Amino acid sequence: MTTQTDSGPATVSLHSDREQLFRVRGLTKTYGVGDAAVHALAGVDLDLYTGEFIVLLGPSGSGKTTLLNQIGGLDVPTSGELRYRDLDLANATEEDLTHYRRDSVGFVFQFYNLIPSLTARENVALITEIAHDPIPAETALEMVNLGARLDHFPAQLSGGEQQRVAIARAIAKRPEVLLCDEPTGALDIRTGIVVLEAIERVNRELSTLTVVITHNAVMAQMADRVVRFSDGRVHSIHKNSQRAPASSVNW
């Protein structure tokens, strides 16, 4: 299925129909100082485009999550270039980052991170209240097939349902980028597939750049490109000629 392997940064020519969203050059992130210093990112080069479905693969500690945090504006890099359109994320203020996250980024976490005191609808509506041009909360929940469980509290939902609420919450603001860190990590296969289908559908219907971190190599079949990490660097990038539907993913 993998048709091409290249070790350098992806080039514009491969994505002529798509607009570049992120430009990452020589990105490093170091935690701690001196002997205790940990180089979580040791110089990453990567470009990401609108509507792409990216899967990040790699062993624990290879830097996937650190990169995702930098792209999501949760953390700032130690050095290097990190641009989202015209916004210099590497040197942005706290306020800029808040606005960036609010308007442009959707997050989906392994442990859902819903607000336990709000219902499914309210968890989504919480975000649509502060977004510019949101999808109605109900519509977003319909997209993840939860139209029937709008008024349930997180504690009344299964793990897969909670994760789908989290996806609805993430996409309701019509983000340009959807970041998912191990979205199926805490779920069984069947539920995991339902969640992946929801992510896939969002990617397709809203043309949202979708970046998914996973330990599960078979999920790579769903991606446009598969980025492999090791030791804080991009080890390789594979481009799939054809994306497999989530329902066909088997693990």
Partner 1 sequence: MFSHLDRKLLRDLTRLKGQALAVALVMACGLAMLTMSRSLIYSLESTRREYYEAHRFADIFVALKRAPNSVASRVAELPGVAGVDAGVSAQVTLDIPGLDEPASGLVRSLPDRGEKELNRLFLRSGRWLTPRGRGEVLVGEAFALANQLGPGDAIAMLLNGRRQEFRIAGIVLSPEFVFESRPGAALPDNRTYGIFWMPYEEVARAFDLYGAFNFLSLTLAPGAREHAVITAVDQLLKLYGGRGAFGRGDHPSHIRVSDEIRVLQTLSIGFPVVFLSVAAFMINAVLSRLLALQREQIAILKAFGFANRQIVVHYLKFAFVIVAVGTVLGAMGGVPLAKRLVVMYEMFFRFPALEFRLDPSALVWAALVATFAATIGVHGAVRRAAKLPPAEAMRPEPPANYRPAFVERTGIAHWLSHTFRIAVRNIERRPMQAAFTVAGLALATGILIVPNSFRDSVKRILGFQWDVIDRDDISIGLLEPAGVKVGHLFEKLPGVVSTEVFRNTAARIQFGHKSRQLAIRGMTADGEHKRVVDKALHQLPLPEHGLLISAKLAEILGARVGDQLVLEILEGKRPVLTLPLVGLADDLTGLSAYVERRALNRLLGEGDVINGASFVLDAAARPNFLRELKGIPKVSWVAVKDSLRASFEKTTAASINLIQTMYLVFATVVAFGVVYNNARISLAERARELATLRVVGFSSREVGTVLVTELVILGLVALPLGLLLGTGFATGIIGMVNTETVRLPLVLTARNYAFATLVVSIASVISAAVVLRQLSHLNLVGALKAPE
The footprint of partner 1 (CB under 8 A) covers 65, 69, 72, 74-75, 94-95, 98-99, 101-103, 105-107, 109-111, 113-119, 122, 125-127, 129-131, 153-155, 169-170, 173, 181
Tell the smallest beta-carbon distance from residue 169 to partner 1 (Å): 7
Nearest CB to partner 1, comparing residues 63 and 106: 106
Listed in sequence order, the residues at least 6 apart from 104 whose beta carbon sits closer than 8 Å to its beta carbon are: 84, 175, 176, 177
25 strand-pairing partners: 81
Neighbours of 3 (CB within 10 A): 9
For residue 175, which amino acid is it? Answer: P
Pair 221, 208: CB distance under 8 Å? no
Tell the smallest beta-carbon distance from residue 158 to partner 1 (Å): 12
Distance from C-alpha of 55 to C-alpha of 52, rounded to nearest angstrom: 10
Nearest CB to partner 1, comparing residues 1 and 115: 115
Listed in sequence order, the residues at least 6 apart from 22 whose beta carbon sits closer than 8 Å to its beta carbon are: 46, 47, 48, 71, 82, 83, 84, 177, 209
Nearest CB to partner 1, comparing residues 68 and 249: 68
Pair 99, 92: CB distance under 8 Å? no
Nearest CB to partner 1, comparing residues 126 and 206: 126
Nearest CB to partner 1, comparing residues 10 and 168: 168
Pair 229, 57: CB distance under 8 Å? yes
Tell the smallest beta-carbon distance from residue 55 to partner 1 (Å): 18
Q: Is 187 helix (H, G, I), strand (E, B) or coil?
A: coil
Tell the smallest beta-carbon distance from residue 88 to partner 1 (Å): 19
Q: Which of 189, 132, 141 is nearest to 167 (CA)?
A: 141
Q: Is 167 helix (H, G, I), strand (E, B) or coil?
A: helix
Tell the smallest beta-carbon distance from residue 233 to partner 1 (Å): 20
Nearest CB to partner 1, comparing residues 107 and 221: 107
Length of the chain in terms of residues written:
251
For tokens 């990490």, the residue is 229
Tell the smallest beta-carbon distance from residue 188 to partner 1 (Å): 17
Maximum C-alpha span of the chain: 55
Tell the smallest beta-carbon distance from residue 41 to partner 1 (Å): 13
Q: Is 120 helix (H, G, I), strand (E, B) or coil?
A: helix
Nearest CB to partner 1, comparing residues 210 and 221: 210
